[in-house]
Amino acid sequence: MLAANRLHRFVALLIALSLSAVFAACTPIMPEAPAAEAPPSTQPADPCPTPGEGQLLLRNETDGYCLLYPAAYTLDQTNPGVTDIVVDNVMNHWDPRLSIAVSDAAGQTLEDIAAQLATDYALPGFEITPQSITVAGEEAVLLDNLPGQDLNRRVAFLHGGTLYRLFIAPLGDEGSEVRRQAEMLYQLALESFRFLE
């Protein structure tokens, strides 16, 4: 009788396991719910470029812009609205420097600004021809090889009623190391220039 009782338990266990397998096979497989998408960010993407090797980021919240500059340079802000990018300090006049001056446009148009710059730097024997370029999506005026203590370059553009003026000097002679450094500083700053708003 003990053997028959064990046999019944064994058969009952086999039936339970079989039914369990049948029910598992018949249970519908529910597709996985798609992963919930993250809600869109309410923070606007940072417009500033990411510095590469040997570069630093200038982010000027007060004047509403950012740009990249070479790591060998330092920043000097001696006056409100003016940032100088120089090697060592502002007394270094032999290495190229970039000065960025930001002010209210006071209703001036880009044409007014270009005409004033051409008048300010007009000297006998110097042909000043304003060139049209684009900086951060804004139309800009470029005046190159202007006379002064050293040959210099000036760029002016408007954004939201604000006037941005860039000055780079010395430019150095064509083919010189100073000219190479000036062009590198100029290209990096203008190509990476972004408005914060």
What digits encode the pLDDT tens for the residues 77-99? 989 999 999 998 888 889 999 99
Q: What are φ and ψ of residue 128, in 5° steps?
A: -110, 115
Residue-level pLDDT at 159: 97
47 in any annotated domain: no
Tokens of 76: 């000097």
13 in any annotated domain: no
Higher pLDDT pick, 162 / 38: 162
List all residues 6 or more positions away from 59 whose beta carbon is below 8 Å from its beta carbon: 48, 66, 196
Give the total number of structural domains in the chain. 1
22 in any annotated domain: no
Report the alpha-carbon distance of residue 58 to residue 65 in Å, rounded.
8
Q: What is the CA radius of gyration of the chain?
A: 34
Residues paired with residue 58 on neighbouring β-strands, in sequence order: 67
Residue-level pLDDT at 26: 42
Residue-level pLDDT at 38: 55
Mean pLDDT computed over every residue of the chain: 83
pLDDT band at 103 (very low <50, low <70, confident <90, very high): very high
33 in any annotated domain: no
106 in any annotated domain: yes
pLDDT, tens only, 133-142: 999 999 999 9
124 in any annotated domain: yes
121 in any annotated domain: yes
Highest average pLDDT, of 23-27, 37-41, 148-152, comes from: 148-152
The least confident of 38-47, 56-65, 186-195 is 38-47
Sign of torsion, CA 147 104 57 84?
Answer: positive
23 in any annotated domain: no
10 Å CB burial of residue 78 (0-12, 13-18, 19+) is exposed
Q: Which domain holds residue 126?
A: 55-195
* CATH number of the domain encompassing residue 115: 3.40.1000.10
Tell whether the model's pLDDT for residue 49 goes beyond 70: yes
Tell whether the model's pLDDT for residue 16 goes beyond 50: no
